[in-house]
Amino acid sequence: MEPGDDKDVLSMPPALLAEIREAADEDQRTTEELVREAIERYLEDRRWQRLLAYGEQQARSLGLTDSDVPRLIEEYRQERRQSH
């Protein structure tokens, strides 16, 4: 199989497809480029949201709050200064 041969067909409401085509035309891009970028952005945002949720869960399990962050940053910086 050649690169780019693996294609899936996605269906969407006609009104959404019309809006996508209009936006692509205005930006002088293909609909494929616009949809690909939108999906990539969505997936990147999803990864960040999962990472943030993990961090919040870890902070809760350690009993940390937002007010602890400045102190922890300062402690970390002091440790780094001492080790260099």
Give the separation between CA 56 and CA 61, rounded to whole angstroms. 9
- pLDDT recorded at residue 4: 64
- pLDDT recorded at residue 72: 95
Global pTM reads: 0.70
Eight-class DSSP state of 3: T
- pLDDT recorded at residue 5: 67
CA angle 35, 37, 38 (to 5 degrees): 65
Contact in structure between 56 and 49 (CB atoms under 8 Å): no
Phi, psi of 30 (to 5 degrees): -85, 155
| pLDDT tens, per residue, the chain with 84 residues | 566 667 788 899 999 999 999 999 999 999 999 999 999 999 999 999 999 999 999 999 999 999 999 999 999 999 999 988
